Amino acid sequence: MKTADKHDKIIRAATKVFAKKGFFNARISDIAKEAKVADGTIYLYFNNKYDMLLSVFEEKIGRLVNLINSQLEQEDDPRRMLEIFITTHLREMKKNKNLAEVIQIELRQTNKMVKDYRNNKFSEYLNIISMIIKKGQAKGVFRRDVLPGLAKRAIFGAMDEIARIWNINIDSEYPIDETTNQVISIFLIGILQHPTTGKS
């Protein structure tokens, strides 16, 4: 087996174990066993436990960024772009619960360990949202007084909370399509009953 393959194998195992047990309750030996590798082998590929979590996170978010970017490539309508972002994010979280879980873990458990939080894949990911919003504002389709840097947080936060619930499965669950449409419509037109709104 090639070195690259083993690295990958460990990443996959780590994702699974972190997602299932959380970072602190995951043992290196759990991950090693899941990857069918000796405990020590892990340290040939990663510096330490936290380095693994970070690698898992960056790798997965990187894939997400690529996926979304490829989806958005053809599209030029900001409204449609936002719909695509929301749809894709929710679909991926639903499809890959471990990913959703690892995002949750990394985002809250390890802030305290790490200082530099700016230049990473995750910021890049969220900035896709704010770029869409800015574009929409420039085109006059989105309200100009919305702060893109705040809106990106609101939108991500909403989706992240919904994904969290999927992973606990409390709440009688709604179909993903319905959920997606709800989120899109809430952020586009709000919950207020508009006199003019006749759209479905």
Partner DNA sequence: TTGACAAATGAACAGTCATTCATTCATATT
Partner DNA sequence: AATATGAATGAATGACTGTTCATTTGTCAA
Alpha helices in 22-139 (DSSP H): 28-35, 39-45, 49-72, 78-95, 97-109, 121-139
CB within 8 Å of 117: residues ≥ 6 apart: 111, 123
22 touching DNA, by CB under 7 A: no
User: What residues line the site for its own copies (CB under 8 A)?
Assistant: 20-22, 24-25, 79, 104-105, 107-109, 111-112, 117-118, 133, 136, 140-147, 149-151, 153-162, 164-165, 167-168, 170-172, 174, 178-179, 182-183, 185-197
Query: What is the spatial distance between Cα 132 and Cα 129, in angstroms, rounded to a whole number?
Result: 5
User: By rule CB under 7 A, what string of x and - marks binding of each residue 33-62 to DNA?
Assistant: ----xxxxx-xx---xxx------------
**Which one of the spans 1-9, 128-136, 137-145, 160-168 is the region binding DNA (CB under 7 A)?**
1-9
With tokens 């772009």, the residue in question is 81
Least distance to its own copies, CB of residue 134, Å: 11
The footprint of DNA on this chain (CB under 7 A) covers a number of residues equal to 18
Q: How far is CA 32 from CA 4, 47, 188, in A?
A: 16, 15, 46
Residue 27 beta carbon to DNA: minimum distance, rounded to whole angstroms: 4
